[in-house]
A = this chain, B = another copy of it.
Amino acid sequence: MPAAIEFWFDFTSPYSYLAAEKIDALAATYQRRVDWHPILLGVAFQTTKALPIVQVPLKGEYSLRDMDRSARFLGVPFKFPSRFPLPTHAAARAFYWLKDNAPATAKPFALAIFHAFFVADSDISDPDVVLGIAAEQGIDRIALAQAIATPEAKERLKQETATAIGKGLFGAPYIIVDGEPFWGVDRLPQIETWLATGGF
């Protein structure tokens, strides 16, 4: 069985959201699984001295237009959040606890977080909002609240972020197929050809 495709992302990243809506179906076409890893993109930006894209002169204005257009192009609902970017510690820690303890719930939870932020304009930096979304998915709110407050949960997210940077991540989504890194939802066509041909 081939290795899972690695999907590294931040819940505050618009292009990560668009990729999250597409990557599993794309992988399944080629009998591949996808292993999701939320990280803190801001930590990577400290390494590269990058700004959030919307804060870069000219590029920022373009990016807002491009996010809207890319969402329409991919057929994904999208409304740029009124608060952006947001810290995503609570959502990411919750994801890893679910991944380890109730794995079938982790991706639906992640997609619900993305929708809360990029469709419903919810403040996903608020742990109560995150827990509320989890509860709507049938997840034990109290257990999750306890889990994301532990030192282990904090350490896990730090380690995942460090691992991602060690793999070369400087932006999101960052998708690794059999060792080959692809940055951006706009690389999905290359990923598809890579999967179809075994590399080119």
Q: Using an 8 Å CB-CB cutoff, how does the interface string of A121-156 with B read, 1 for contact, 0 for none?
A: 000000000000000000000000000000000000
A interface residues with partner B (beta carbon < 8 Å): 44, 47-50, 56-59, 61-62, 65-66, 69-70, 72-73, 165, 168-171, 180-184, 186-187, 189-190, 193, 200
A168 touches B73 (CB 8 A): no
* Closest CB in chain B relative to A47 CB, distance in Å: 6
Nearest 5 CB-CB pairs, A to B? A58-B170, A186-B186, A59-B170, A48-B57, A73-B190
Return chain B residues, CB-CB under 8 Å to A48: 56-59
Q: How often does this chain occur in the complex, in copies? A: 2
- Known contacts A73-B200, A184-B186, A186-B184: A57-B193 contact under CB 8 Å: no
Instruction: Give 28 pairs: A residue, B residue, CB < 8 Å, sorted on A.
Output: A44-B58, A47-B57, A47-B58, A48-B56, A48-B57, A48-B58, A49-B57, A50-B56, A50-B59, A56-B170, A58-B165, A58-B168, A58-B169, A58-B170, A59-B170, A61-B168, A62-B168, A62-B170, A62-B181, A69-B190, A69-B200, A70-B190, A72-B200, A73-B190, A73-B193, A184-B186, A186-B186, A186-B187
Return chain B residues, CB-CB under 8 Å to A73: 189-190, 193, 200
**A180 vs B69: C-alpha distance in the bound complex, in angstroms?**
10
**A187 vs B186: C-alpha distance in the bound complex, in angstroms?**
8
Return chain B residues, CB-CB under 8 Å to A65: 181
Count chain B CB atoms within 10 A of each CB in A56, A59, A181, A183 and give the residue with the most: A59
* Closest CB in chain B relative to A199 CB, distance in Å: 10
**A168 vs B168: C-alpha distance in the bound complex, in angstroms?**
30
**A48 vs B55: C-alpha distance in the bound complex, in angstroms?**
10
Return chain B residues, CB-CB under 8 Å to A69: 180, 190, 200
Return chain B residues, CB-CB under 8 Å to A50: 56, 59
